[in-house]
Chain A
Amino acid sequence: MADLSSNFIGIKSPNPFWLASAPPTDKEYNVRRAFEAGWGGVVWKTLGSEGPPIVNVSGPRYGAIWGADRRLLGLNNIELITDRPLQVNLDEIRRVKRDYPDRAMIISLMVPCDEESWKDILHRIEDTGADGVELNFGCPHGMAERGMGSAVGQVPEYIEMVTAWVKHYSKMPCIVKLTPNVTSILPPAMAAKRGGADAVSLINTIKSVTNVDLDHFSPFPMIDGQGSHGGYCGPAVKPIALNMVGEIARHAETRGLPISGIGGVTTWRDAAEFLAMGAGNVQVCTAAMTYGFKIVEEMISGLSQYLDDKAMTLNQLVGRAVPNFVEWQDLNLNYVTKAVIDQDLCISCGRCYAACEDTSHQAIAMSPDRVFTVKDDECVACNLCVNVCPVDNCITMTELPQGAVDPRTGRKVTEYANWTTHPNNPSAHAAE
């Protein structure tokens, strides 16, 4: 068993799997159960200022999209930050941390954008024994309209200012949680770094409407015949999150800034991908909300087996894919592959044919007895057939060796060359 113990910005946990700030971490009962199930840490559901508690809707808080067999692929929510009194939360945090000293306990915070409010809340949480704070600059619904959450996260200057206040009034490690509801994730990340953040965590949820009720003509979740946008999460958002994590991990200005990866982590494999893309640990919510806390056992065993198989430590995995995350212009234009259909695995469904013939390059032939073969002289290696094939590994892409002639172009495969030097690029010569 590989050693999964994690040290993220000085916060130690027995594994890199934390529960994200969300309903699963809203109270003592849940968090104790999570720790018993094996989670390495939690980010306690966001606390607000002292005062009358937040009010939630009493209708549906979630919307969803599903795949085959109603497998949950995406979830959206309109729940706000904790709606329980501040002191109740603080007392519970203190008790849980005392009983589980080896687990990471982070407190998520969201208070109005003024120095006093932040100074006050930081003072109140001081003696809970928590290991750090996470600044919720991400929540895109309900609180944003009140000038908090993503309303802060969308303005880099605010991020920097508030982060600086937090670092000024608290000694705790500070993680800034970023919203993906921005044109580029880089300015917010840079602002967090300038403000002194110890780490960023991302992504928070994405503004979304999951579906429209076609009987009531209302977005869903529907409250008394009306709906507002919610925050989208779950497996569907993973590709968006991976890109943003990678962008921060590779950029010259943000490189080295620790990242807590969030966004659709459902299995150990998703977690490993986030780690390879530069995250130091991961936070999970939707998968736990779908399947319960027990999934962490699969995450632990899976990641452990993977690291053992690769003879790699957890730290060696972190960031391993970042050097290979490049811009399009850096891609090798002389790399040529062709789709190859394994006839023994093929079940003759013809989906590759329909996809290629109807929507792509007419590069798959179909015989009268339903044998499907790739026409190398037409195949541009787009990979669509691979993606629509229902059989794993039935269609694979095979690389043409250097010197081989691509039957489509009639040109020999040569060594690496990218767009920056390509003859069709008007800027190519200027770049030389």
Chain B
Amino acid sequence: MSNNPLTPGVVPARLPGHVLAENFGDSAPPLDRHEARVAADRCYFCHDAPCMTACPTSIDIPLFIRQIATGTPEAAARTILAQNIMGGMCARVCPTETLCEEVCVREVAEGKPVEIGRLQRFATDTLMEKGIHPFTRATPTGRRVAVVGAGPAGLSCAHRLAMKGHDVHVFDARTKAGGLNEYGIASYKSVNDFAQAEVDWLLMIGGITVHNGKTLGRDMQLSDLQRDYDAVFLGFGLAGVNALRAAGEDKANVMDAVDFIAGLRQAGDKGAVPVGRDVVVIGGGMTAVDAAVQSKLLGAENVTIVYRRGQAKMSASRHEQDHATAAGVRIIHNAAPVAVHGNGAVAEVEFAYTEETATGLTLRPETFRLRADQVFKAIGQTLLGAPEGVVVQGGKIATTGAGRTNVAGVWAGGDCATGGDDLTVTAVTQGRDAAEDIHAALAAKG
């Protein structure tokens, strides 16, 4: 007898294979040609368009939509990718509802924005499915740049540097390139192994060598890279996870949401991934939502997100929250964990209600308990392994200008560095801009 949502404990295969396949299919299916044409026709081609201003990579959105409307999605893709080389992934994971689509004049006027994200996906998918890489390398410069981290920031930086003719070596601790695109995004947002396909496509530029399984500080030191390369870009993300600081958090089946998400992404058979009957997710960001929704999709009976502040403070967008609640996830606000109970493995989590006071968030005397046989911690990631000598500020590598660290010849970008939200699109921007700055610096050196 196989498992079902009511089976106690943390077990695999709570749902039949065909249900899992459907649950983890494309959550937002791509537009077909006709739908894209209709969606593109809604764009007003605004002057100095607000959507373009809202995009961290400043994609010329009205132009690419007009290019779709006139039957040239390939040209549209070039417009997108020239600004954002990971425009394909960003089309899938960008919180467009808080970026371009939030400021779309049709959102303002009708509450129904032009579907910029889906149109972007239509364009980039069209080009990438044809196996076309629309950029070429400049004449090789003979300069060598080391990039640490093969996530969105590192790959964006590497691509732009390669375009400029530099030789780029990318070092990444994991076995696959892609960073959070490969390990950190909900499976239903990146189906058909899109993250790896995008990496392969990106590397078609040439001049980029990826070294997997290489961790800075263990396999090489910053000083080695400074010695062997003309410039270094640090984009290794946030490898640490914040602790709950609640008694009993070391009990079995209390785990990091990022590990659960990564494991699920790498699992060929989703039915092999164990999940609890009663799952509690602690946190208020996209990671919390991704872990909670996917727990539900795996067949957990009860999934609850508990966030210590009010709804407005949740860093997961309203769209993401709605996605979670529509999937059957319950969201409790204004409660913080105070203890994890259980005999060896977690059985219950005890929460205290919170309130915002002049002195900050404080716990109220009222408490409640949630049954839990699995708990996911999603209360933020932390910087791990910043090289010695690099100034860290507020938990991030301090940068000025286009990602310059305090160390000459060393740039940083993406989640590990200061500036911007921790979004894929922000990381791509920072990688790109750092590459331009590195290129300018190398050129100035003559």
- Chain A contact residues, CB within 8 Å of chain B: 68-70, 347-351, 353-354, 366, 370, 390-391
Considering residues A70, A349, A351, A390, which has the most beta carbons from chain B within 10 angstroms of its beta carbon?
A349
B109 and A350 form a contact (CB under 8 A): no
Of B45-53, B205-213, B217-225, which binds chain A?
B45-53
B60 CB → nearest A CB, Å: 14
Given known contacts A69-B38, A70-B37, A391-B109, A348 and B44 CB-to-CB distance under 8 angstroms: no
List 23 A-B pairs, Cβ < 8 Å: A68-B41, A68-B42, A69-B37, A69-B38, A70-B37, A70-B38, A347-B105, A348-B50, A348-B108, A349-B44, A349-B47, A350-B47, A350-B48, A351-B44, A351-B46, A351-B47, A353-B47, A354-B47, A366-B47, A366-B48, A370-B48, A390-B44, A391-B109
- Tell me the complex Cα distance, A353–B50, Å: 14
Whether B105 pairs with A348 at a CB distance below 8 angstroms is yes
Q: A370-B50, A391-B109 are in contact. Are A351 and B45 (CB under 8 A)?
A: yes
In the assembled complex, how far is the CB of residue B218 from the closest CB belonging to chain A, in whole angstroms? 50
Residues of B within 8 A of A349 (CB): 44, 46-47, 105
B137 close to chain A: CB less than 8 A: no
Complex interface: chain B residues within 8 A of A69 (CB):
37-38, 41
Distance in angstroms between the alpha carbons of A366 and B46 in the assembled complex: 13
In this complex, what residue of A is CB-closest to B48?
A: A350
Across the A-B interface, the 6 shortest Cβ-Cβ residue pairs: A350-B47, A68-B41, A354-B47, A347-B109, A347-B105, A349-B46
Instruction: List the B side residues contacting A353 at CB < 8 Å.
Output: 47
Report Cα–Cα, A70/B33, bound state, in Å: 13
Contacts of B48 in A (CB 8 A): 350, 366, 370
A359 to B41, CA, bound (A): 23
A347 and B108 in contact (CB under 8 A), knowing A68-B41, A69-B38? yes
Residue of B nearest to A68 (CB): B41
**Min C-beta distance of A369 to chain B, whole Å:** 10
Residues of the A chain whose Cβ atoms lie less than 8 Å from the Cβ of B330: none
Interface residue total, chain B, C-beta cutoff 8 A: 15
* Shortest Cβ distance from A358 into B: residue: B47
Residue from the set B46, B47, B48, B105 with the largest chain A CB neighbour count within 10 Å: B47
A353 CA to B85 CA in the complex, in Å? 32
Chain B neighbourhood of A350, CB < 8 A: 46-49
Contact with A along B46-66 (1 / 0, CB 8 A): 111110000000000000000
Least CB distance, B40 to chain A, in whole angstroms: 9
B371: interface (CB < 8 Å): no
Q: How far is the CA of A351 from the CA of B41 in the complex (A)?
A: 15
- B106 on the interface (CB 8 Å rule)? yes
- Cβ–Cβ < 8 Å partners of B42 in chain A: 68
Question: Contacts A70-B37, A370-B50 hold; do A347 and B45 have CB atoms under 8 A apart?
Answer: no
Contacts of B108 in A (CB 8 A): 347-348
Query: A70 to chain B: which residues have CB within 8 Å?
Result: 37-38
- Interface hits, B81-138 → A, CB 8 Å: 105-106, 108-109
**How far apart sit A366 and B50, CA to CA, in the bound complex (Å)?**
13
Q: How far is the CA of A70 from the CA of B36 in the complex (A)?
A: 12
A70: shortest Cβ distance to chain B, in Å?
7
* Chain A residues within 8 Å of B105, by CB: 347-349
Interfacial chain A residues near B44, Cβ < 8 Å: 349, 351, 390
Q: For B50, what are the chain A residues with a Cβ–Cβ distance below 8 Å?
A: 348, 370
- Besides A351-B46, A353-B47, 9 new A-B residue pairs in contact (Cβ under 8 A), listed by A number: A68-B42, A347-B105, A347-B108, A347-B109, A349-B44, A350-B46, A350-B47, A366-B48, A391-B109
Residue on A with the closest CB to B47? A350
Give Cα A347 to B44, complex, Å: 11
CA of A115 to CA of B37, assembled, Å: 54
Q: How far is the CA of A70 from the CA of B69 in the complex (A)?
A: 11
Instruction: Return chain B residues, CB-CB under 8 Å to A348.
Output: 46, 50, 105, 108
Q: C-beta contact mask, B12-45 vs A, less than 8 Å → 1, else 0?
A: 0000000000000000000000000110011011
- Neighbouring B residues of A354 by C-beta, 8 Å: 47
Question: A354 to B48, alpha carbons, bound, how many Å?
Answer: 9
Which B residues are in CB contact (< 8 Å) with A370? 48, 50
List B contacts of A391 (CB < 8 A). Answer: 109
What's the Cα separation between A354 and B42 when bound, in Å? 18
Report the Cα distance A353→B49, complex, angstroms. Answer: 12
A68 to chain B, nearest CB (A): 4
**Minimum distance in angstroms from B186 CB to a CB of chain A:** 33
Q: Which residues of B sit under 8 angstroms from A347, Cβ to Cβ? A: 105-106, 108-109
Q: Shortest distance in angstroms between A395's beta carbon and chain B's nearest beta carbon?
A: 14
* Chain B residues, CB < 8 A from A366: 47-48
Residues in chain B near residue A390, CB distance under 8 A: 44
Closest chain B CB from A213 CB (angstroms): 13
CA distance A351 to B37 in the complex (A): 21
Chain B 225-256 interface mask (CB, 8 Å, partner A; 1/0)? 00000000000000000000000000000000
Task: Report the separation of the CA atoms of residues A351 and B106 in the bound assembly, to the nearest whole angstrom.
Answer: 13
B49: chain A residues within 8 A (beta carbon): 350
A70 to B35, alpha carbons, bound, how many Å?
11
Q: Once bound together, how far apart are the Cα atoms of A68 and B42, in whole Å?
A: 8
Task: Give the nearest-CB partner of B44 in chain A.
Answer: A349
A348 to B37, CA, bound (A): 24
Cα–Cα distance between A347 and B109 once the two chains are bound (Å): 6
CA distance A351 to B45 in the complex (A): 8
- Least distance between B54 CB and chain A CB atoms (Å): 12
* Chain A: minimal CB distance from B359 (Å): 36
> Cα distance A347–B47 when bound, in Å?
12
Measured CA separation A177–B34 after assembly (Å): 39
Give bound CA distance, A354 to B37, whole Å. Answer: 24
CA distance A361 to B30 in the complex (A): 43
- Among residues of B, the one whose C-beta sits closest to the C-beta of A390 is B44
How far does the Cβ of A410 sit from chain B's closest Cβ, in whole Å? 30
In the bound complex, CA of A391 to CA of B109 (Å)? 9
Which residues of chain A have C-beta atoms less than 8 A from B41's C-beta?
Answer: 68-69
Closest to A353 in B: B47
Closest Cβ–Cβ distance, residue B102 to chain A (whole Å) = 13
Alpha-carbon distance A42/B42, docked complex (angstroms): 38
Kindly list chain A residues whose C-beta atoms are within 8 Å of the C-beta of B45. 351
Complex: how many Å from CA A351 to CA B48? 9
B10 CB, min distance to chain A CBs, angstroms: 50
**Cα A347 to Cα B37 with chains together (Å):** 23
**Complex-state Cα separation, A18 to B145, whole angstroms:** 76
Chain A residue with minimal CB distance to B110? A347
Give A211 Cβ to nearest chain B Cβ, in Å: 12
Query: In the complex, which residues of chain A have a beta carbon less than 8 angstroms from the beta carbon of B109?
Result: 347, 391
* Residue numbers in B under 8 Å from A68 (CB-CB): 41-42
B108 to chain A: closest residue by CB? A347
Q: How far is A350 from B62 in the complex, measured between Cα atoms in Å?
A: 12
Give the shortest distance, in Å, between A22 (CB) and chain B (any CB).
28
> How far apart sit A68 and B68, CA to CA, in the bound complex (Å)?
13
CA A162 – CA B46 in complex, angstroms?
A: 56
Q: Which residue of A lies closest to B41 (CB)?
A: A68
Q: Nearest residue in A to B106 (C-beta to C-beta)?
A: A347
